[in-house]
Structure 1
């Protein structure tokens, strides 16, 4: 049996490959002496070997889009470095700003960049510009308190902004000529319009839009005529993956995810990549991790048949392929397939079912509820699913009603249905596993993170013979407290949150929040609980988990808890991920009877490895 470290802390793993602006160099993440490190190598038709590396406190890297220079983020500083002469570093942090985020990069060394800052208030950002070296700060637009986001043109001047009105309507306004702003579109909270420009003059846009339709489609937007023309759409699923290899040019490739991914090329480059990915003759999932400035050299993390991904470098002009990094270690065989789960009211719930290759049925099983709730699980390699399958579990990821990706109607079915029909969906998924002979009754667990943790906690307060155990990762457990204490940065998006949870200032909504809050249902809880939380979580305070743990123990429920110092809403440190995985395999083996490695020395050493 493979150690949990093979899934969560492989010392030979490399990831996040990104070609330089001309594609002759490539940078990537790896580890050196257990610490995350950025490596740089040359692309010369063979797997690159690093000639320089950057460790220390680097948390992010990217390339300049006009020369082969790296940008390294160390703490709150932005440093520019030439990998060929790495000893000299230039501090190019935007000056005069405590908080900053570059939203549009300069196109040349003397150019300017667009920067947003939350210095005035954490609730909304102001728009600035600076030189590429961080000097010359100038305020472009001071936020009135209504602007959610801006789009800038090739000169880094704002050409479109999104404003939220008191009525909850989002207004998209464009600058067509001079300083005159004109309303382009007005959207209700249940509508989506994600816009990007595709020419330097900002007179042509593409967008993901569901205005006047149920599903998101890729459209071409004419701002002068206020019209949109569909480029790619689907009757079954939203278009959520519209990929541009060059951010200033039209979409190259659309991926439809109605079950297995379907690739739809829209350019010569897109057709070349689709051909190269399709040559394997297997189902493929991929994420673009970087591209050269001209969009012809592409780095991607590619997974075939939901197996561990491999970083690959594609030259779309020569149609050559370079496999990067070491070949991933083979994991225990498992099959992953998209399925439909029948709900009690006739709805069909999209799901992802992962089974150990030698499964004989009637096995222990884990039902996974994704967080969000405005998210969805998709087919492809997933480390948690693969790890659980390696321990002998059937794993079913459920896209319960309210999930995104399947149209406005399906999403709206989940609005204010926490503790109600969403819980029915989770129970129906568990019964499906039992009725199909996949899972053994009494040997099911429920797992969820964030809002998925809310669902998992509530599942343990009904259907007492259905789930024997629950795993809650950084869960929302006190719904009234959460709704009164959401992050300040969500101030312009409260209507979207309230679609799902209601308005805590409304008496009937507040009553539902209290009734279906897991902290208020502890007396009805059954089974065993594994709780994990990040002590530095800025979204869901760790105090919710601490109070819930105390209440469960007082009620006599078996509880295991893990609290990770320095971690937030999700775990980034490999030690945290490894400790969590080891705790999960021991917990599930104890309460629903899967397999667990008797002793894992790598995990034991993680407690002492600094």
Structure 2
């Protein structure tokens, strides 16, 4: 720390915390402009671009009166854009085109309840249809094909909430015709003629059995059985247009998932591509034939690989011209135009139109132009060793004011936020990350760790997380923090833990199981009691339940009950001694609001400080930007109080939100004052 005179210290002590931090940074000559949090978490200018199959139209989501809606424009005249929908509250976050290019389709729920309904908008007339107007029903899109223009296949669980019956949906009339009554299957695959060809069902081993479907009848004997060890790394991808080949990602007989082609007639499997470092999780398929043309391997970063010689030159051109990671997000049926999203980490995502014939890349839009030229910082990928020898692929972002070297090591250790991903069967990736950039701008190093149980790194790594919630999975997080401290990145006494869903659980576990390791925690929709979590999962997760029990602990056995009790932070709430902020959606169907209520009540009873904010119109996370901005406003002031970084004042951000501070406003800096002004 740079020495300061006594008068300077006295002046700083009289200032608000965010001003104290700014003064300290100014004194070291390392001031970096504060980026408004709304630029990170407000509505994007445009997002979710899609090309219509016939190549005539371009669609995207963009704000209309402050809420994300669907927009459409001629591809050659994007300036003639017009809004197609008029949602007033719940944002539309993605869409897809009907095969005939006449209708733009999307799903949306109400208040985050995840009872998703399917809607369609006629591009020519603007007429909107609600295709699945059923209460307490979740729609699934099972089949959509360029060969069948007038209908798609959807799954509906309005008869039995546990299982989705398959229906044919006429897009012009909205008529639903039952194709198959589901008597216990978890999923279906259709071919390009929209004939059901494959059904899956959980088996006693905690994996899945896959059955052939013929004339809408499921055969009695499975054609493939997958055990628990392969259940997260083996799944069908889709059929070729002639129906003769079924592609899979498949880890049976190997560690990392390979891209496989199965001859449907003989059942023979052929390896198309594999990589010892990471799973291949998908492919790039020809829009007409359905044949695989390429894939990507994502270990430290995503690396595209061409299989079809016709695409090799295109991918090489994009690698050369984009100067960053890119993804092909949309293709026309003729495959002459692509939409390409480019991520350079230190700039907001940009979308281009790629003309394959002319080999020309034309800028289309920048998702957040207000961040162009902002002081965004690089991200570094690191391999961190766990205490028992596993390799934890991790991503580090260090604030510019810390003057880091090329590997992200600052001149002096700084406060750090450990960001824990949800799932836990998911992964962190390299690229622009709003939370990393926001927190780094506030003066913190940010570390995201792919702890054991994360997906993408082979089945051994996934399975190493079985029955390890709050134990070895948590040890991996502690080992990564120790790495950051020993490397000179983080100050040992100034590390916060933060995350959503499983990341919220990890936050609670960190404060309850290792109460002196973290300076504070931010839990977003995290479960506190694994018994009640497993007892309140959505009914349509029925097919996934056996796998959950095998990987977390079986509440139906004495051993499982003891394990779940031991791994539930609620039972150790009395150990918590560091500041805690909790955010929860009242309508969350995955992590019920009772999960947060329980641990807050336990802490209140013991007079342990906790700040608790509930959003009555949100579910598993905060979809409405006004709510996300409000919670993050509280979060950054809470972290500034805990870690000493800087913060933009909460100000009036609570007013447009639905935030209900149910407990502990006095424990979060500036929150009482913001509530008084609301």
Is this a same-fold pair by TM over 0.5?
A: yes
Instruction: Name 1:363's counterpart in structure 2.
Output: 414
Residue 352 (structure 1) aligned with residue 390 (structure 2): no
| Counterpart position of 2:182 | 143
Q: Aligned to 2:506, what secondary structure does the other structure show?
A: helix
Could you say which residue in structure 2 is the equivalent of 1:256?
297
* Contact 2:211-2:218 at 8 Å conserved across structures: no
Structure 1, 298-307 or 502-511: larger mean CA deviation: 298-307
State which drifts further: 454-463 or 527-536. 454-463
- Residue 29 of structure 1 corresponds to 61
| Alignment: residue pair count | 603
- Contact 1:239–1:255 (8 Å) recurs in 2: yes
Deviates more, 1:246-255 or 1:225-234: 246-255
TM-score, normalised to structure 2's length?
0.83
Question: For 1:470 and 1:74, how far apart are their aligned partners in 2?
Answer: 31
In the alignment, is the contact (CA less than 8 A) between 2:485 and 2:492 conserved in 1? Answer: yes
Instruction: State the partner residue of 2:164.
Output: 125
Structure 2 matches for 1:118-517, cutoff 5 A?
A: 118-134=157-173, 137-145=176-184, 147-175=185-213, 181=219, 183-191=222-230, 192-244=233-285, 246=287, 249-267=290-308, 270-280=311-321, 282-286=323-327, 288-305=328-345, 307-326=347-366, 327=369, 329-330=371-372, 331-359=374-402, 360-517=411-568
Shift of the alpha carbon at 1:466? Answer: 2.3
- 1:486/1:420 Cα in 2 relative to 1: closer, same or farther (>3 Å)? same
Q: Residue in 2 aligned with 1:50?
A: 81
The answer to whether the Cα contact below 8 Å between 1:433 and 1:439 also exists between their aligned partners in 2 is: yes
Distance 1:587 1:133, change over 3 A: same
Distance 1:283 1:140, change over 3 A: same
Mapped to 1, the partners of 2:479 and 2:493 lie a distance apart of 15
After the TM superposition, which of the residue ranges 310-319 and 322-331 deviates more from structure 2? 322-331
Shift of 1:547: 2.0
Return the alpha-carbon distance in structure 1 between the equivalents of residues 519 and 376 of structure 2. 26
**Greater displacement, 90-99 / 521-530:** 90-99
Match of 2:41 in 1: 8
Q: What is the alpha-carbon root mean square deviation over aligned residues?
A: 2.8
Matching residue of 1:535: 586
Write the distance in 2 (CA, Å) between the matches of 1:279 and 1:48. Answer: 29
Q: Is the 8 A contact 1:77 1:91 kept in 2?
A: no
Structure-2 separation of matches of 1:90 and 1:430: 51
| CA 543–82 in structure 1, closer or farther in 2 if over 3 Å, else same | closer
Distance 1:17 1:412, change over 3 A: same
| Deviation for aligned residue 1:608 | 9.0
| Post-superposition offset of 1:195 | 1.5
Please point out which of 559, 564, 589 is paired with 2:615. 564
The range that moved more, 103-112 or 499-508, is 103-112
Q: CA deviation at 1:421?
A: 1.3
Q: Secondary structure at the residue paired with 1:373?
A: coil
Distance 1:273 1:582, change over 3 A: farther
Residue range with higher mean Cα deviation, 133-142 or 222-231: 133-142
Distance 1:577 1:272, change over 3 A: farther
1:66 aligns with 2:97: no
| CA deviation map 1:151-173 (0-9, x unaligned) | 11233221111133345452222
Return the offset for 1:374.
0.9
Structure 1 pair 197–513 and aligned structure 2 pair: CA distance change class (3 A): closer
Answer whether contact 1:217 1:233 (CA < 8 A) is retained.
Answer: yes
**Residues 354-405 of structure 1: CA distance to partner in whole angstroms, max 9, x if unpaired?**
1123323310101122111111111111111111111111011011111111
Q: Give the C-alpha shift of residue 579 in structure 1.
A: 0.9
The gaps in structure 1 that reach 5 residues or longer are none
